[in-house]
Chain A
Amino acid sequence: MRYMKEVLDSRELLANLTLREIRGQYKRTIFGQLWSLVNPLATMLVYTIVFAFILRVTPPPGNPSGLNIFAVWLLCGLLPWAFFANVVQTGMGSIIANAGLVQKVYFSRIVLPLSTVGSIGYNWLFEMGVLVLVLAICGSFVWPWIPLVIFVMVLLAIFASGLALMLSVANVRFRDTQYLVSIVMQIWMYLTPIIYPISLVEDQSRAHGGLFGTSITLMDIYRLNPLERFVAVFRQLLYDNTWPNPQDLLFCAVWAFAAIVVGVWVFRKSEKGLAEAL
């Protein structure tokens, strides 16, 4: 509880550090904030050409929205993933990147990883705003779902923060963490139905049946991935325009809660030794 108060007291510092990242990021560029859109758009273009045009992946059309555009379907999953991956990787390095500060000034260290969540979240919010406009232009009636989308965005941000907190202290002790995590993130992305529909995994799972003589199917294991649930919920809301599956939503909330509790606990335990270990 006292820790909570300390963190709450540093909210101004958190806001200032977040602003530092946001303001500093696109300084001296001509296009400024627009650059934050370029990355996801370029990725979208590549994936759309490779997966929709060459490999002919066809996701099911939005139900009940009736949308059937691969690029938009892709973005509904890709933008949350990109945010998540970015937070985990940048947040992980945040303590090391600010080593000079940690060794010279006392402040609540937790603001460092959290400020990266804030600044990346700001870009994500901008991207999602553009996505909503695109969806609306394509004929999706997305407006009533926006509050729920924001709620799920917050859940994902909490989940990502939890992981970033754990990894940031691990990275101070073992610099291997950052290299390992970048590989894990790559694998993780392909283990999440972002560029292909989950129905393809379902087909394979059905074909194989229970694994090793048990009733556990490939699909059961596949769905343990928290990001699978998040992506599913985002697509249900944005692309299908329907209520999210309550079980999926509950899963997201549980994962987010578990990640942040463990993350804060781990961080708090190692916080005091950080200045020495750097």
Chain B
Amino acid sequence: MSDIAVSVDHVSKRFRLYHERNQSLKSAIMRGRRSVHEDFWALKDVSFEVPTGSTFGLIGSNGSGKSTLLKCLAKIYFPQKGSITYNGKIAALLEVGSGFHPELSGRENVFLNGSILGMSKREITRKFDEIVDFSGVEQFIDQPVKNYSSGMYVRLGFAIAINVDPDVLVVDEVLSVGDAEFQEKCSQKFIDFKRAGKTVILVSHAMTAVQEMCDHAAWLRHGELVTVGEAEPTIAAYLDSLNRGETSAA
């Protein structure tokens, strides 16, 4: 195992802002292949490395490109320039309960959602009890999930995702699910995760959470990387800039 879990190498991501988009066949044919658009670079030449075993925070104001970068890391978007290389298995947790079918039971949905997240059937069977136990919905596991309360729904979704057991876990702001007791369980899980030498990359607006959990951080502003390094100075610099009102979108 090398020291670098994820290496982001000169990544740029472009979105096209269409003024007159060829969204219908008619306009495409009438205007030929041309469509009027403007390029918007959501990420501009971002490079950094995430050390193995670290908890890495991505911080920045709204519209700074955090989520775009996260989606690039999760292989949902593909950057126009640059590349991202991974060491080991990566799992992304951008939403809980992806692909849940409301009419199916909790049990069936565990298998469905698990396989969407890349687990094999054997793996899910092995971890099934652990997942159900973690979610705390044992009693209702054979009920259709549409009858679940929203709390039960996200807890089950989160329990599956946290049990994927990747080498690198990419997390969006999903930590704030469930009640205080469940959140406590989640933080414990992250600590276990870290102790096992796994890497976590997380995006959050809650600076206290980032400060508490992360040892490394990267600060993005308008798609550009401002600083990267130890969590404390990076967060301090970011908060400092906010206080001085440097960023327009606070």
List chain A positions with a Cβ less than 8 A from chain B. Answer: 12-13, 16-17, 19-20, 23-24, 27-28, 98, 100-107, 173-177, 180, 272-273, 275-276
Choose from A27, A98, A103 the contact partner of B76 (Cβ within 8 Å). Answer: A103
The reply on B85 being an interface residue by CB < 8 A is: no
> By the criterion CB–CB under 8 Å, are B23 and A16 in contact?
no
Choose from A17, A100, A180, A273 the contact partner of B112 (Cβ within 8 Å). Answer: A17
Choose from A23, A28, A106, A174 the contact partner of B28 (Cβ within 8 Å). Answer: A174
Of the A-B pairs whose beta carbons lie under 8 Å apart in the complex, a sample of 28, sorted by A's number, is A12-B115, A12-B120, A16-B111, A16-B115, A16-B116, A17-B112, A20-B101, A20-B108, A23-B104, A23-B108, A24-B103, A24-B104, A27-B104, A28-B103, A102-B76, A105-B74, A105-B95, A105-B98, A105-B99, A174-B22, A174-B23, A174-B24, A175-B23, A176-B25, A176-B26, A272-B78, A273-B78, A275-B76
Q: Which residues of A contact B98 (CB under 8 A)?
A: 100-101, 104-105
The reply on B15 being an interface residue by CB < 8 A is: yes
> By the criterion CB–CB under 8 Å, are B71 and A20 in contact?
no
Q: How many residues of B contact A (CB 8 A)?
A: 31
The reply on B233 being an interface residue by CB < 8 A is: no
> By the criterion CB–CB under 8 Å, are B15 and A24 in contact?
no
The reply on B205 being an interface residue by CB < 8 A is: no
Report the separation of the CA atoms of residues A189 and B85 in the bound assembly, to the nearest whole angstrom: 49
Choose from B23, B104, B116 the contact partner of A13 (Cβ within 8 Å). Answer: B116
* CB-nearest residue of chain A to B120: A12
Asked whether A12 and B121 contact (CB < 8 A) given A20-B104, A23-B108, A104-B94, the answer is yes
Choose from B15, B75, B112 the contact partner of A276 (Cβ within 8 Å). Answer: B15
Q: Which residues of A contact B11 (CB under 8 A)?
A: none
Q: Which residues of A contact B75 (CB under 8 A)?
A: 106
* CB-nearest residue of chain A to B73: A106
The reply on B77 being an interface residue by CB < 8 A is: yes
Choose from A23, A101, A176 the contact partner of B99 (Cβ within 8 Å). Answer: A101
Q: How many A-B residue pairs have CB under 8 A?
A: 78
The reply on B118 being an interface residue by CB < 8 A is: yes
Asked whether A104 and B25 contact (CB < 8 A) given A13-B116, A20-B101, the answer is no
Q: Which residues of B contact A176 (CB under 8 A)?
A: 24-26
* CB-nearest residue of chain B to A272: B78
> By the criterion CB–CB under 8 Å, are A105 and B116 in contact?
yes
Report the separation of the CA atoms of residues A65 and B24 in the bound assembly, to the nearest whole angstrom: 51
> By the criterion CB–CB under 8 Å, are A276 and B77 in contact?
yes
The reply on B117 being an interface residue by CB < 8 A is: yes
> By the criterion CB–CB under 8 Å, are A105 and B94 in contact?
yes
Choose from B78, B103, B112, B115 the contact partner of A27 (Cβ within 8 Å). Answer: B103
* CB-nearest residue of chain B to A21: B101
Report the separation of the CA atoms of residues A275 and B112 in the bound assembly, to the nearest whole angstrom: 21
> By the criterion CB–CB under 8 Å, are A104 and B115 in contact?
no
List which B2-26 residues lie within 8 A (CB) of chain A: 15, 22-26
Shortest A179–chain B CB gap in Å is: 10
> By the criterion CB–CB under 8 Å, are B77 and A275 in contact?
yes
Shortest A230–chain B CB gap in Å is: 28
> By the criterion CB–CB under 8 Å, are A105 and B112 in contact?
no
* CB-nearest residue of chain B to A170: B25
List which B78-116 residues lie within 8 A (CB) of chain A: 78, 92, 94-95, 98-99, 101, 103-104, 108, 111-112, 115-116
Closest 5 CB pairs of A and B: A106-B75, A104-B95, A27-B103, A176-B25, A16-B115
Report the separation of the CA atoms of residues A175 and B27 in the bound assembly, to the nearest whole angstrom: 12
Q: Which residues of B contact A104 (CB under 8 A)?
A: 76, 94-95, 98
Shortest A94–chain B CB gap in Å is: 13
Shortest A69–chain B CB gap in Å is: 39
Shortest B203–chain A CB gap in Å is: 14
* CB-nearest residue of chain A to B92: A106
Report the separation of the CA atoms of residues A24 and B112 in the bound assembly, to the nearest whole angstrom: 12
Q: Which residues of B contact A98 (CB under 8 A)?
A: 99
> By the criterion CB–CB under 8 Å, are A175 and B24 in contact?
yes
> By the criterion CB–CB under 8 Å, are A174 and B74 in contact?
no
Report the separation of the CA atoms of residues A180 and B99 in the bound assembly, to the nearest whole angstrom: 29
Q: Which residues of B contact A175 (CB under 8 A)?
A: 23-24
Instruction: Encode contact with A along B181-194: 1 for CB under 8 Å, 0 otherwise.
Output: 00000000000000
Choose from B23, B101, B111, B118 the contact partner of A24 (Cβ within 8 Å). Answer: B101
